[in-house]
Amino acid sequence: MKILIVEEQPALNRSMVDYLSSQQYVCESVGTFRDAQEKIDLYQYDCIVLDIMLPDGNGLQLLQHLKQANKLDGVIIISARDELDDKITGLKLGADDYLTKPFHLSELSVRIAAIIRRKSLQGSNLLHYNEITIDIQAKTVTIKDKDITLTRKEYDLLVYFIVNKNRVLSKNAIAEHLWGDAMDMADNYDFIYAHIKNLRKKLLAAGSDDYLQSIYGMGYKFSTH
Amino acid sequence: MKLYVKYNRVNILAAVLIFIVGSCSFYFLLQYILVHQLDDTLKTEETEIKQYRNEHHAMPEITPTRHQVTTFTPVTDSFPAIYRTVKLSGHNDMYRQVQFGMEAAGKYYLVTVSRPLEETEDLLQVIILLTIIMIACILLVGYIINRVVLSGLWKPFYKTLDTLSTYELSLQHVLNFTPTGINEFDLLNENVQRMTERVQADYQSLKEFTAHAAHEMQTPLAIMRSKLDVLMQQDAILKHEGASISDLESAISRLSKLNQSLLLLTKVENRQFVLNEQVDMEALLKSKVSELLDIIEAKHLSVNIVVEPMTIRFHRHLADIILNNLLSNAIRYNREGGTIDISMQNNALIVSNTSSLPMLDRVRLFQKFYRHADVSEDGSGLGLSIIRQICDMAGYVIRYDFKDARHIFTILFK
């Protein structure tokens, strides 16, 4: 899976490359409009992470460029501007998603995964993790070929964990993923715990291994020991 | 009061005053002249009588006419002539008379010659009547002309007013006035146009500033957050510095939310939202409550909702923010196991909740960064300011009450 990261800030650019590279993505990164245009013209990417404000141009023009060239690359816009207008324009121009800075890398990762799944020509809607299989289209989860029933939040959590497997996910990141950033409940994440506890119970009951670990009280990690 | 009404009032008052003073002076002057003329006639009469006496050494025969009454009364002494206006017995009218003493054939007489003032007064009456009619005509015609002409003259002014009243800064309208041909109005229009252009430019640069500020603040925050996400993956660091990383993360999160809130507040204050959406408040409220259900349950709160269908002309994003902030507060400052009552009826949204906090300061409550002394720094301190600003902009009213140990927030959508 090839990803192009277009971000002016080297530090942020590197973080994204670090995080995504460790998830079996092949990342290329550029910091200017011109370099991005060159890359886009030469190669095909599964997903492009696109910052709108670039030193030598507007990222939205790159979107138009893609459209005119009939390119099918998935695009997720990352912008510091939480302007509704920008968001609408971006999506109208063919972007697949829009993420406002600052975001969690785990959130970026789960959104990229969703875009790639939607765009993938192979039509693979299945997400595997050992004995766990998720059918993204049907929104069903099976463990060792046995269906299990999850609530909407538990299902979202499981997809989020599996896409970000082997990563430590902070409670803050999990809360923002599940409830959006309108959820302004600061340091009180007790309500996350209930969902995680239930999910874990259901997975174990269906015969799955125990993959969910609490990490030093600050977050969770989904991995084999 | 309309300008021309005020102008007319002053104008007519002044005109009436001048006409009254003028008419009075005219009356007295005219009367003075007429009486003076009469006195001249009487003087001639006196001269004639004296001439007759000098020639004939006797008093003349009296032939009374309608216009003149002459009497001779014998007296003992001579005295000088007096002119006066009198009322003669047996006559209704006033008379002007001259009395003088004279000596004829060794006898002294008091001669009185009187002429009626009737004609003079008739003349005066006619003149005064004419004057009054003339004044009335002048006033009436002046008033009508003022009304018609003035309202016609002021038309460009009202057109400018109309244009200004529909002017919306956030819509970036360009004002175009057609030349009126009247210097004052053209000058006004020109200045208004120049002013709006200037304001528009300022507004634009403010908007750009807001966007730039967002960029400048959000990008470093994004770097901090992403670095933290990467750092967090290293077990050795997490093991020793887990608490620090956790603290850093929540600080970044708070800063990011604070930044977003400030930007939103600025945008609302700058009237950057156009309220032209029909928002189904009932549906929005229900989805907001279900969104918050997890936290509500985590705090063991019970929620009572009474809601009627309500659609208002508003902005969806802003409506969402109002509901989110109100309900978040009702949850955050609630006590464990407390209650929240939500009612949306008759264009009013009422959210009331139990809390361990006493009554809040009604004035300071809506100020930026106001927190009650018993509250730890939890929320951004901007939630209610944002609601207040949105309400002010949309023309809604927000009210705070404290009753039966419940904090009650009411929003009246007009």
For B30-44, the DSSP string reads HHHHHHHHHHHHHHH
pLDDT tier, B255 (very low <50, low <70, confident <90, very high otherwise): confident
> What is the CATH number for B300?
3.30.565.10
pLDDT tier, B295 (very low <50, low <70, confident <90, very high otherwise): confident
- Find all residues with CB under 8 Å of A55, minimum gap 6, and list them: A8, A31, A32, A33
Q: Which of B230, B250, B256 sits opposite A18 (nearest CB)?
A: B230
Q: Are residues B336 and B229 in the same domain?
A: no
Which has more pLDDT, B24 or A188?
A: B24
Contact call for residues B81 and B99 (beta carbons, < 8 A): yes
SS3 at position A103: coil
Which of B106, B138, B170 terminates a domain? The answer is: B138
How far from the centroid of its chain's Cα atoms is residue B231's Cα?
A: 64
Q: Are residues B255 and B241 in the same domain?
A: yes
Contact call for residues A118 and A96 (beta carbons, < 8 A): yes
CA separation, residue B360 to residues B235, B338, B365, B366, B401 (Å): 46, 18, 7, 10, 9
Which of B272, B298, B331 terminates a domain? The answer is: B272
Q: What is the total count of domains within chain B?
A: 3
- For chain B, give the mean pLDDT: 86
Residue at B230 is within a domain: yes
3-state DSSP of B82-121: EEEEEECCCCCCEEEEEEEEEEECCEEEEEEEEEECHHHH
Check residue A2 and give its pLDDT. 92
pTM, two decimal places? 0.65
Q: Taking CB atoms and an 8 Å limit, are A179 and B294 in contact across chains?
A: yes
Q: Are residues B13 and B98 in the same domain?
A: yes
Name the A residues in 69-88 with CB < 8 Å from any B CB. 78, 80-84
Residue A187 touches chain B, beta carbons under 8 Å: yes
Q: Side by side, which strands form the sheet with A146-148?
A: A126-129, A132-135, A140-143, A146-148
Q: Are residues B244 and B339 in the same domain?
A: no
Q: Taking CB atoms and an 8 Å limit, are B295 and A188 in contact across chains?
A: yes
Q: Are residues B134 and B179 in the same domain?
A: no
Residue ranges of chain A with per-residue pLDDT less than 70: 82, 121-124, 181-188
Residue at B302 is within a domain: yes
Q: Taking CB atoms and an 8 Å limit, are B298 and A181 in contact across chains?
A: no
Q: Taking CB atoms and an 8 Å limit, are B246 and A81 in contact across chains?
A: no
Q: Could you tell me the two tokens for B282?
A: 């009932």
The HSE-up count of residue B301 (CA atoms within 13 Å, CB side) is 29
Q: Are residues B32 and B104 in the same domain?
A: yes
Residue at B144 is within a domain: no
Residue at B376 is within a domain: yes
Q: Are residues B286 and B265 in the same domain?
A: no
Residue A102 preceded by cis peptide, ω within 30: yes
Select the highest-mean-pLDDT range: A147-151, B23-27, B233-237, B370-374: A147-151
Q: What is the percent of chain B with per-residue pLDDT over 90, rounded to a whole number?
A: 26
Residue at B147 is within a domain: no
Rounded Cα distance between A32 and B150, Å, is 65
Phi, psi (5° rounding) for residue A6? Answer: -110, 100
Whether pLDDT at B214 is above 70: no
Phi, psi (5° rounding) for residue A214? Answer: -85, 135
Closest listed residue to residue B177, CA positions, set B162, B203, B168: B162
Which of B228, B251, B272 terminates a domain? The answer is: B272
If you average pLDDT over residues B111-133, what whole number do you get? Answer: 83
Amino acid at B247: D
Which has more pLDDT, B75 or B345?
A: B345
Q: Are residues B356 and B282 in the same domain?
A: yes
Check residue A121 and give its pLDDT. 57
Q: Taking CB atoms and an 8 Å limit, are B229 and A106 in contact across chains?
A: yes
Check residue B26 and give its pLDDT. 84
Residue at B67 is within a domain: yes
Q: Are residues B112 and B160 in the same domain?
A: no
The HSE-up count of residue B43 (CA atoms within 13 Å, CB side) is 7
Q: Which residues of A touch B260 (CB under 8 A)?
A: 82, 181
Q: Which residues of A touch B294 (CB under 8 A)?
A: 153, 179, 191, 194-195
pLDDT tier, B411 (very low <50, low <70, confident <90, very high otherwise): very high
If you average pLDDT over residues B155-178, what whole number do you get? Answer: 83
Q: Are residues B195 and B311 in the same domain?
A: no
pLDDT tier, B338 (very low <50, low <70, confident <90, very high otherwise): very high
Check residue A156 and give its pLDDT. 93
C-alpha gyration radius of chain B: 48
Residue at B315 is within a domain: yes
Rounded Cα distance between B194 and B286, Å, is 48
Q: Which of A80, A170, A219 sits opposite B215 (nearest CB)?
A: A80
Residue A215 touches chain B, beta carbons under 8 Å: yes
pLDDT tier, B412 (very low <50, low <70, confident <90, very high otherwise): very high
Rounded Cα distance between B150 and B4, Å, is 7
The region of weakest confidence among A76-85, A124-133, B158-167, B270-279 is A76-85
Q: Which residues of A touch B256 (CB under 8 A)?
A: 102, 181
The terminus-to-terminus CA distance of chain A in angstroms comes to 26
Contact call for residues A93 and A64 (beta carbons, < 8 A): yes
Q: Are residues B351 and B311 in the same domain?
A: yes
Check residue A1 and give its pLDDT. 85
- A179 min Cα distance to partner chain B (Å): 7
Q: Are residues B221 and B258 in the same domain?
A: yes
Domain of residue B169: give its range: 154-272
Q: Could you tell me the two tokens for B187?
A: 């000058």
Amino acid at B162: D
Whether pLDDT at B271 is above 80: no
Best residue of B210, B224, B226, B245 to probe chain A, by most A CBs closer than 10 Å: B226
Closest listed residue to residue A118, CA positions, set A133, A136, A91, A138: A136
Number of DSSP helices (H) and strands (E) in chain B, helices first = 9, 11
Name the A residues in 1-40 with CB < 8 Å from any B CB. 9, 11-12, 15-16, 18-19, 22
The region of weakest confidence among B84-98, B186-200, B396-410 is B84-98
For B381-401, the pLDDT digits (tens) are: 888 999 999 998 899 999 999
Residue at B149 is within a domain: no
Q: Which of A53, A102, A181 sits opposite B221 (nearest CB)?
A: A102
The region of weakest confidence among A65-69, B100-104, B310-314 is B100-104
